[in-house]
Amino acid sequence: MKHCANTAKILMPKSDIDLHKWSVVACDQYTSQPDYWTETAKIVGDNVSSLHLILPEVYLEEPNITEHINKIHNTMNEYIKNNIFSALPEGMILLARDTGKIRKGLVLQFDLEEYNYKLDSKSKIRPTEKTVEERIPPRLAVRNGASIEIPHIMIMIDDPDRKIIEPLYEKKDTFSKLYDVELMQDGGHITGWFIPKSSETKNILNMLDGLADPKLFYKKYNTSQDTSILQFAVGDGNHSMATAKAYWENIKTTLSEDEKLNHPARFILAELVNIHDESIIIEPIHRILFDVDINHLFESAVKFFESKNARCKIVDSLNNENVHAFNFKTKDKKGIFVIENSPYSLPIASIQAFLDEYISENHNIKIDYIHGDDVLSELASKDNSIGFFMPTPKKEDLFKGVIFDGVLPRKTFSMGDAREKRFYMEAKMIVK
């Protein structure tokens, strides 16, 4: 039987590598805070580190981007040549990430043939948010020519009874400890245990397959039998997952049918988490616009929603809960942006639809997606900037939202704040 998820041949830095300096946060974090990455570079210095194998997105628009990518590829090859990595036996890794609360995860590989990021996706592995295909090429430039991957993707399962990952954590001391390290820049602590391919892993994979059992799925979500089964939902790293898919689609055109079955680029490493893990706090991702004429923005919003037979206005306080409402902040003003009679079911869909159109018509304006109220408030205090505070989605509705409504608006939610995001640790070959 073919599994969507499976054991993997994982690479780990050898025991003499300083994992505190090896492991850095996901490249798509702190995109409006270059000081974070400057400090990270100071901590790492010339030491062996995953920092030298990634392209922090804060640097995406710099003129020497091609040179940076070439250096990444050369460093990957150098690390392999110098035996920086140890190849583990086939298996999976149980991990615990402590940032004040412990997130339990399982690192294994996922079959990209079972994943599709298109809006009408019916695949067993689906994104939770809309994929912006224009964001794939710069990431694909890094993956093209790469020999290994060090992913920061987190994939979710809907396991309310906590039968799959949590029991493994309870018997973690029966597994071999791989790493136990304090992460840099207030990233917390992470511990990993290796689970070799065995009857244990077979049982785990069988339980994961059970999430896609048609009878159980239709009963669980109270849905019809023509509803496409969703087994795994990509929670973090949607665009990195889409990039891996695009890369695989390119690679497989050069392969025979036999080669396609087990080529390493067909499979991607990711951390599997249970959305019902007590540590998983679903947080909103706020919006910030730079270089914007605030009055023109609001005038355009009025026209946009009028064209949708809706109405928007700015108020100081809210006395009607049957509207879509967003607190906002500029350098010298605070208020509530209210949308009445919106044609969109989710509040975030209302405002994102407008912002997407507005930015497409005003190319000088930049938008960013921010974790944390304090960070947004600080950035929104700058000239010609405005920050919109997003509401918090209910995590129990996320799977149902993807199943019934399709992918959610991009950047709908975040699993924790920036410092809680996945730090790079494990690696995998993507070339033969």
Per-residue pLDDT tens over the stretch 75-128: 999 999 999 999 999 999 999 999 999 999 999 999 999 999 988 889 999 998
Q: What is the mean pLDDT of the chain?
A: 94
The reported pLDDT for the residue numbered 255 is 96
Residues 255-262 have a mean pLDDT of 96
Which residues have CB under 8 Å from 343's CB, separation 6+? 308, 309, 310
Residues 276-303 have a mean pLDDT of 94
> Averaging pLDDT over each range in 196-200, 279-283, 344-348, 400-404, which range is the top one?
196-200
**Could you tell me the two tokens for 195?**
């689970």
**Residue 386, pLDDT above cutoff 70:** yes
User: Which residue shows structure tokens 């003129």?
Assistant: 63
Of 51-65, 209-223, 283-297, 405-419, the range with the lowest mean pLDDT is 405-419
Residues of the chain above pLDDT 70, percent: 100
**Residue 382, pLDDT above cutoff 70:** yes
| Type of residue at 320 | N
**Residue 200, pLDDT above cutoff 60:** yes
Residues 255-260 have a mean pLDDT of 96
Q: What is the 3-state secondary structure (H, E, C) of the chain?
A: CCCCEECECCEEECCCCCHHHHCCECCCCCCCCHHHHHHHHHHHCCCCCHHHHCCCHHHCCCCCHHHHHHHHHHHHHHHHHCCCEEECCCEEEEEEEECCCEEEEEEEEEEHHHECCCCCCCCCEEECECCCHHHHHHHHHHHCCCCEECCCCEEEECCCCCCCHHHHHHCHHHCEEEEEEECCCCCCEEEEEEEECCHHHHHHHHHHHHCCCHHHHHHHHCCCCCCCCCCEEEEECHHHHHHHHHHHHHHHCCCCHHHHHHCHHHEEEEEEEECCCCCCCEEECEEEEECCCHHHHHHHHHHHHHCCCCEEEEECCCCCCCCEEEEEECCCCEEEEEEECCCCCCHHHHHHHHHHHHHHHCCCCEEEEECCHHHHHHHHCCCCCEEECCCCCCHHHHHHHHHHHCCECCCCEEECCHHHCCECCCEEECCC
The reported pLDDT for the residue numbered 415 is 73
The reported pLDDT for the residue numbered 407 is 77
The reported pLDDT for the residue numbered 1 is 53
Of 9-23, 118-132, 143-157, the range with the lowest mean pLDDT is 118-132
Residues of the chain above pLDDT 90, percent: 82
**Residue 406, pLDDT above cutoff 80:** no
Backbone angles phi, psi at 172, to 5 degrees: -60, -30
Distance separating alpha carbons of residues 151 and 268, to the nearest angstrom: 8
- To the question of pTM greater than 0.75 for the whole model, the response is yes
Residues 34-56 have a mean pLDDT of 97
Distance separating alpha carbons of residues 93 and 196, to the nearest angstrom: 8
Residues 134-156 have a mean pLDDT of 94
Backbone angles phi, psi at 155, to 5 degrees: -115, 140
**Could you tell me the two tokens for 233?**
């939902």
- Shortest CA distance to 230 belongs to which of 131, 130, 157, 129? 157
60 vs 71 pLDDT, higher one: 71
The reported pLDDT for the residue numbered 228 is 94
Residues 232-254 have a mean pLDDT of 95
**Residue 133 pLDDT level (bands cut at 50, 70, 90):** confident
The reported pLDDT for the residue numbered 273 is 97
